[in-house]
Amino acid sequence: MSQRESSYSTKELVNQLLKDIQQGVIQGADGQLPTEPELMKQYQVTRYTLRQALKNLANLGYIYQAHGSGTFARPHHVEGAISLQNNVGLTAEMARQGKIVKTTGISQRIVPLSKAAFVPESQKLAQDTELISVIRQRTLDDEPFLVEHSYYLKSMVGEIPDSALKGSLFAFIDQKPGLKVGFIDSVIECEMITGTPARFFNLADGSPSLVVRDDSYLSSGKLFAFSKIFYDFRKTKFFMLKKMH
């Protein structure tokens, strides 16, 4: 079977495998998944596509491989938690759990770095660097969940259309010629909030919030964005798989 004959892309196969695992339709009573040839035949995909999908699921903590025994579904993935190894975006990550993320409020404006509410953790930029400030309020199953404040380097990403603001901004970046998202440095901390996040979460000023700070880089290693994502601490859980070998 050539790579062109796969009936799923890697992303589509990840979603389908996860759906089938969660419904318990492909693993045995002990959680073991079928062999690679059996999975290739069942889903009509190439070995390459299958292995990429299994690797993604393993990195997200949904499956594990036992040397000499096979591949198994993990029995205790944390329900409702956001995987810190998620590489598909929050909307897709929560959709896998049957939850719906919506963007309910958006603002965008151009500001110099000197007017930014915060600066990147790991790099120094000139004070007159033009930034696109984007603030998005997002709900989870129609309940206030997060406020995301991001700054994009205008010289690198250009204009951001309204249609992109309602979806995945990283997917928009990836589609631009010459740009490809490479890696993200993330820091989780607690911060007392005021203003927009507090009002959105219906909390008093000075209430705590879980905050994820992201510095985002292209595959070339150049910083193109930095963000603060404020989560309602009452509704947020994070999950990370630690591989020991």
pLDDT 10s digits, 181-216: 888 999 999 999 999 999 999 999 999 999 999 999
Domain with CATH 1.10.10.10 in the chain: 8-71
Identify the pLDDT of residue 143. Answer: 96
pLDDT at 3 over 70: no
Q: What is the mean pLDDT of the chain?
A: 88
Rounded average pLDDT over 71-90: 75
The model's confidence at residue 36, banded by pLDDT at 50, 70 and 90, is very high
User: Which alpha helices (DSSP H) does 29-151 contain, by range?
Assistant: 36-43, 47-60, 90-95
Identify the pLDDT of residue 23. Answer: 79
Identify the pLDDT of residue 228. Answer: 96
241 or 52, which is more confident: 52
Residue matched to tokens 């879980």: 210
pLDDT at 74 over 90: no
Highest mean predicted confidence (pLDDT) among 63-72, 82-91, 146-155:
146-155
Rounded average pLDDT over 155-169: 88
Which CATH architecture group holds 79-237?
A: 3-Layer(aba) Sandwich (3.40)
pLDDT at 87 over 70: no
The CATH classification number of 8-71 equals 1.10.10.10
Identify the pLDDT of residue 245. Answer: 61
- CA–CA distance, 47 with 45 (Å, rounded to integer): 7
- CA–CA distance, 178 with 141 (Å, rounded to integer): 36
Q: Do 7 and 40 touch, CB atoms closer than 8 A?
A: no
Rounded average pLDDT over 125-131: 95
- In order of 92, 146, 188, the CA distances from 236 in angstroms are 16, 9, 12
122 or 153, which is more confident: 153
User: Which alpha helices (DSSP H) does 28-153 contain, by range?
Assistant: 36-43, 47-60, 90-95
Rounded average pLDDT over 214-241: 92
Sequence-distant (6+) residues with CB within 8 A of 89 are 168, 170, 171
DSSP secondary structure letter of residue 117: S
Domain with CATH 3.40.1410.10 in the chain: 79-237
Least confident range of 54-63, 68-77, 144-153, 161-170:
68-77
Identify the pLDDT of residue 56. Answer: 87
- CA–CA distance, 76 with 117 (Å, rounded to integer): 39
Identify the pLDDT of residue 78. Answer: 65
Rounded average pLDDT over 47-65: 89
Rounded average pLDDT over 41-59: 92
